[in-house]
Chain A
Amino acid sequence: MQSIPDNSAVSLAASPSMVTVSIRDLHLSYGKLEVIKGVSLDIRRGEVVCIIGPSGSGKSTLIRCINGLTPFQSGSITVGDQQVGDAKLDKIRLRRKVGIVFQQYNLFPHKTALQNVMMAPLKVLKEPRAEVERRARELLAKVRLAGKEDSFPGELSGGQQQRVAIARSLAMRPEIMLFDEVTAALDPETVQEVLLTIRELAEDGMTCVLVTHEMAFAREVADHVYFTDGGKIVEHGPPEEIFGSPQDERTQRFLSRLL
């Protein structure tokens, strides 16, 4: 048996076994419009990563690439042992590992909250119904929606719908959760309900990647913050550094306009 080379001397934090998503020199264009111009980043297991930046800087596109919803032209994305750009990629296995929650919730409007959460484990994973239902009820309780199991999406508020969407994603038992501006369509009060749910997930050790405009929240929960502008990562580091003493002039300008 071959011995595994010891990398601990390089850096403990960057130990490859800890890295769950690795993006290298990613390029993506829609026709002539270049949206992502060479982005590289690493996400470690259990880490909460926030991606901030002005609208149109490619943040959403970037995380949509991670679970293969948006194809990219060059560079590489590695999730666990899978290459996302691979033509023979097993997308079902990738999407089991990577859950995503969208800005507009995108629940299935003809299914109740409980059915929304149960469908993927039942039909995609083919798990037994009783077990799926038990877990779905637990998940709805976890996102504080006990009692809303039989409500249809149209009967729930935006914040409630978004929490159903989070439970629906969690029902696949993902290793990584992607949040694509999940509070952008909510009013300030319901934003807090959803952020509370995400904070609890992060505390449970879930790897979370958030594209967000909630700066206070990013500062509080993030382990690492990336600031993007014009399809590139301008600056990244721990939240204290990015929010406390941003080095790049663009980051400073963006943050000063928000505060």
Chain B
Amino acid sequence: MDAILTLIAPFFRDLYETTGINFNVFYDPYQFKRFLIGAENSILLILAAILLSVIVGVAGAAIQQSRSTWLRWLVGGYIQLFRNTPPMVQLLFFYFGLGAYAPQVDMGGYYQPMVSAFGWAVIALGIFGGAFNVEIFRSGIEAVPKATLEAAESLGFKPWQTFVYFTLPLAFRICLPALTTNLVSLAKTTSLAYVISVPEMANMLNQVWSSTFNIPEMMAVLFCFYVGVVWLLAAFLHWLERRLRLRGYSK
């Protein structure tokens, strides 16, 4: 990373000295460090929240297929609760509401909460995104032809095997476009973790512009950072969609 800074620093320093446009995160080592912390936390938060939301989505959709009315009702309630409340309110609720009751860990003289702000952000955003994913996976599962599953049943596959080997892979392909939309949306929502002081990109750049007052430049950096990251995510998901496309069914 230092090598990159050495490479780009002369250009941005020159830019500042000749025009007054101050991208200090790209030449000042101290501010550059803030940028890197922000980038790392934002990217990790996006990946972890997506992972958790997909796990929650699959598990929720699987439970909705179960025969127990009680379990289905529970998942239905979860969806209503987390789909119909703003993600920022959820973050605040988890961090300040539940966080107050979370156990503290003895760190040798001082106490630290067992779940960090970052941890709460992953949990809150994963559960928020998961509520939509349950519905998305359910739509995919319901679109898998019953006849295909009957063929699996007639070959002696147990219900859980049929779900894992046939229902899920086919449902995943069917709902991938809708899933892409939700995951891209979730990736952008992660910047809300700012409100519970997670050192993500918006938070770190705020620290930069508060000390050097280069607000427009840092806004541009923040904007471009998300354009780049979300573009990469969307490109990956579209690649996956093409790769998993059922061969011979559509051109």
Contact = CB atoms under 8 A, between A and B. Distances in A.
Interface of A: 67, 69, 91-92, 95-96, 99-100, 102, 104, 106-110, 119-120, 123-125, 151-156, 165, 168-169, 172
Contacts of B138: none
A165 B161 CA distance: 19
Interface in B167-192: 169-170, 173
A120 B155 contact: yes
A29 B224 CA distance: 64
Given A67-B154, A108-B166, 18 more contacts: A92-B158, A95-B153, A95-B154, A96-B156, A102-B150, A106-B151, A107-B151, A108-B151, A110-B173, A110-B244, A110-B246, A119-B165, A123-B161, A124-B161, A151-B248, A156-B248, A165-B151, A172-B156
10 shortest interchain CB distances as A-B pairs: A154-B248, A155-B248, A106-B151, A95-B156, A120-B155, A152-B247, A154-B249, A124-B156, A92-B156, A106-B147
Contacts of B150: 69, 102, 106
Contacts of B154: 67, 69, 95, 99-100
23 contacts: A95-B153, A95-B154, A95-B155, A99-B154, A100-B154, A106-B147, A106-B150, A106-B151, A107-B151, A108-B148, A108-B152, A109-B170, A119-B155, A120-B157, A123-B161, A124-B155, A124-B156, A125-B156, A152-B246, A153-B248, A154-B248, A168-B155, A169-B155
Contacts of A168: 155
A211 B249 CA distance: 29
Give the secondary structure class of B's interface.
helix
Contacts of B170: 109-110
A104 B158 contact: no
Interface string B6-40: 00000000000000000000000000000000000
Nearest to B155: A120
A109 B148 contact: yes
Q: Which size class do B's interface residues fall under?
A: 20 to 34
B217 to A, nearest CB: 49
A42 B161 CA distance: 33
A151 B248 CA distance: 9
Contacts of A156: 248
Contacts of B169: 110
Given A109-B148, A110-B170, A124 B247 contact: no
A108 B248 CA distance: 13
A82 to B, nearest CB: 13
A100 B148 CA distance: 13
A152 B155 contact: no
Among A95, A107, A110, A172, chain B packs the most CB atoms within 10 A around the CB of: A110
A152 B247 CA distance: 6
A96 B156 CA distance: 7
Contacts of B244: 110
A123 B247 contact: no
A172 B155 contact: yes
B146 to A, nearest CB: 10
Contacts of B155: 95, 99, 119-120, 124, 168-169, 172
A172 to B, nearest CB: 6
Among A107, A109, A119, chain B packs the most CB atoms within 10 A around the CB of: A109
Contacts of A67: 154
Given A102-B147, A102-B151, A109 B157 contact: no
Interface string B223-251: 00000000000000000000010111100
Contacts of B165: 119, 123
Contacts of B145: 106
B203 to A, nearest CB: 43
A109 to B, nearest CB: 5
Contact of A154 (B148, B156, B246): B246
Contacts of B166: 108
Contacts of A169: 155
A125 B170 CA distance: 23
Contacts of B158: 92
A235 to B, nearest CB: 29
A153 B173 CA distance: 16
A125 B166 CA distance: 17
Nearest to B247: A152
Contacts of A153: 248
A155 B246 CA distance: 10
Among A92, A106, A107, A165, chain B packs the most CB atoms within 10 A around the CB of: A106
Contacts of A92: 156, 158
